[in-house]
């Protein structure tokens, strides 16, 4: 949880949940549980390495607060696309190096 004042009193309040699962998609029940108690003005992010079921996407779409669902592929893309802007401590946790691969014609 995060908010501009650090006390969760100012909006936007930001809620994040991260689950590591292999081969098991997150379902609607987990999404509903995560959204319980959220208020208008809150922002939510749910990350699941196992992906999300069709019903989970449906719950996210009909939520009364903005909810972004990120699967492992989307998280990977965000990390790579924004790696140069990530702080050094985080980059130390996920050390990446650029390399160049020639294109075949």
Q: Give the tens place of pLDDT for each residue, 46-65.
A: 999 999 999 999 999 999 99
Tell whether domain 14-84 is in CATH 3.40.1350.10. Answer: yes
Mean pLDDT to the nearest integer, 4-20: 87
In this structure, the dihedral spanned by the alpha carbons of residues 28, 24, 46 and 16, taken in order and rounded to 10 degrees, is: 120
As beta bridge partners, residue 48 has 19, 71
Q: What is the pTM of this model?
A: 0.82
CA dist 61 → 8, 53, 55, 88, 99 (Å): 25, 13, 10, 35, 38
* In the chain, domain spans: 14-84
Predicted pLDDT at 4: 84
User: pLDDT by residue (tens digit) across 62-97?
Assistant: 999 999 999 999 999 999 999 999 999 999 999 999
């Amino acid at each position: 949880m995060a908010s501009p004042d650090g006390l969760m009193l100012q909006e936007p309040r930001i809620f994040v949940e991260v689950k590591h699962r292999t081969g098991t998609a997150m379902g609607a029940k987990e999404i509903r549980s995560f959204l319980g108690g959220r208020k208008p003005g809150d922002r939510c992010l749910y990350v699941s390495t196992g992906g999300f079921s069709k019903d989970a996407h449906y719950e996210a779409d009909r939520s009364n607060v903005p909810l972004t669902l990120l699967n492992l592929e989307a998280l990977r893309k965000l990390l790579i696309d924004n790696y140069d802007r990530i702080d050094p401590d985080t980059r130390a946790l996920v050390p990446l190096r650029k390399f160049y691969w020639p294109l075949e014609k």
